[in-house]
Amino acid sequence: MIIVHPQYITDTAGKKLVALPLNEFDTLMSELEDVRLYDEAKKEDDGKRILFTDYVKKRKNEHE
């Protein structure tokens, strides 16, 4: 779980803004990117699975 420490700021026009420490913002952005990549990979998932050991053997054979 990500813990954030937001500060709420109101600009001169009365618009409310949220400020986060940079490291917390970077963590949130990284998490969002992970979710985006997961969603993208999930769309491309055809349901086929192979054992990791079979993958290693195949990869080894391809590089010989």
CA distances from 50 to 39, 47, 54, 59 (A): 21, 10, 7, 13
Per-residue pLDDT reduced to its tens digit, 24-60: 999 999 999 999 999 999 999 998 999 999 999 999 9
Q: Is residue 50 part of a domain?
A: yes
- Residue of higher predicted confidence among 17 and 47: 17
Q: Is residue 1 part of a domain?
A: no
Q: Is residue 23 part of a domain?
A: yes
Give the 3-state DSSP-derived string for the chain, with helices as H, strands as E and coil as C. CCCCCCEEEECCCCCEEEECCHHHHHHHHHHHHHHHHHHHHHHHCCCCCCCHHHHHHHHHHHCC
Please tell me the distance from the alpha carbon of residue 26 to that of residue 9, in angstroms, as a whole number: 20
Q: Is residue 44 part of a domain?
A: yes
In which domain, by residue range, is 23 found? 7-62
Q: In total, how many domains does the chain have?
A: 1
